[in-house]
Amino acid sequence: MNNDLAIVLFSLLLVLINVNLMKSQVAFGGEVSSKDCADDGIGTGGKLRPGGYQTSCPEAEAIIFARVEEAVIKEPRIAASLLRLHFHDCFVNGCDASILLDDTDSFVGEKTAGPNVNSIRGFEVVDIIKSDLEFVCPKTVSCADILAIAARDSVLLSGGPGWEVETGRMDSLVASKDDANNNIPGPSSDVNTLVAKFQNVGLSLGDMVALSGAHTMGKARCSTFASRINGSPDPHGAVINSEFLLTLQQLCSGPDNNRTLAELDLVTPATFDNQYYANVLAGEGLLQSDQVLVNGDGGTRQIVELYVEDPLAFFKDFAVSMVRMGRLGSLAGSDGEIRTNCRAVN
């Protein structure tokens, strides 16, 4: 049996595994369907729908799941990286895979923007998925849909909720470093800035608090939270636990601290759960943009407290907000394409 045929057969087997995992989520807290988000004010423009590849490429979601699972088993951190790719993509002119484009003579892409440089990763996993899909279903599955499905599978494989991913996105023809710099919330943001960044793309304060829970997985460089540990008073009133502060200061005291990584969640770093919210209540939010959720007066603290008490409420809200975010800026017709190589336009 050649390798390509083996991949196809293995992917079909993963359909059953994927379905069983989804069923386990239903038993645990309920899989969120697109109907739960039908009246959210963010329209799909008639382009996005769940199960969009059932006819054109029925193996698509199984292939993506298999490759994400393979990558997560090899390196659990990659789950957070694939989730972040989808986030950072959607906040720049919508979910159009612009984040995957390499620089060209006509534009500077988003990979070297401030929020992305030395931060986003997982491109090689996307390349492998795209190669598999092009073999099985040429010119059918968009890179933007790959990012959306891989993000869901990364959460699911890390113990988080499942949801129906709406598909039908097109891939962008351009990318913008400037837009990435301006649109993606930064690690030193205060609550007002976070809310404004989310509202600018059509997402609510509630979406912001729920989606911030993605920081229950992954790592961040010392340089991204230097303002939290340098001893100066925080201008936004974000407190920090003294023992946690000492731990971070020791971790980031080396000569090459810009390359040193800290867990966003020290307690359960590779598990998607509600521990992130317990951390910020205890003054142990790694980033300033995490800790300010419990220091502002805009209602964010009450949501954090709810998620600490009720993890299923967090799971449901996170899944609903992911569907809402996935609807941002869907391209149509000649405005986009199905890339055969996610790093370059056709």
Helix or strand (DSSP H, E) at 261:
strand 261-263
Tokens of 14: 């993963």
- Give catalytic status of residue 88 as yes or no: yes
Residues 6+ apart with CB under 8 A from 50: 33, 34, 164, 165, 166, 167
- DSSP one-letter string for 132-171: HHHHHSTTTS-HHHHHHHHHHHHHHHTT---BPPEE---B
- DSSP one-letter string for 48-115: -EETTTTTT-TTHHHHHHHHHHHHHHH-TTHHHHHHHHHHHHHTTTSSSSGGGPPP-SS---STTSTT
Cβ burial of 93 (10 Å; 0-12, 13-18, 19+) is buried
Q: Is 268 annotated as a binding residue?
A: yes
Q: Is 70 annotated as a binding residue?
A: no
Q: Is 215 annotated as a binding residue?
A: yes
Q: In Å, how far are 130, 140, 208 from 133, measured between CA atoms? A: 5, 8, 33
Q: Is 109 annotated as a binding residue?
A: no
Q: Is 193 annotated as a binding residue?
A: no
Q: Is 216 annotated as a binding residue?
A: yes
Single out the catalytic residue among 77, 88, 111, 236. 88
One-letter amino acid for residue 342 of the chain = C
Q: Is 110 annotated as a binding residue?
A: yes
Q: Is 94 annotated as a binding residue?
A: yes
Helix or strand (DSSP H, E) at 313:
helix 311-326
Q: Is 340 annotated as a binding residue?
A: no
Known binding positions for substrate: 185
Known binding positions for heme b: 215
Q: Which sequence positions are flagged as catalytic? A: 88
Known binding positions for Ca(2+): 89, 92, 94, 96, 98, 110, 216, 265, 268, 273
Known binding positions: 89, 92, 94, 96, 98, 110, 185, 215-216, 265, 268, 273
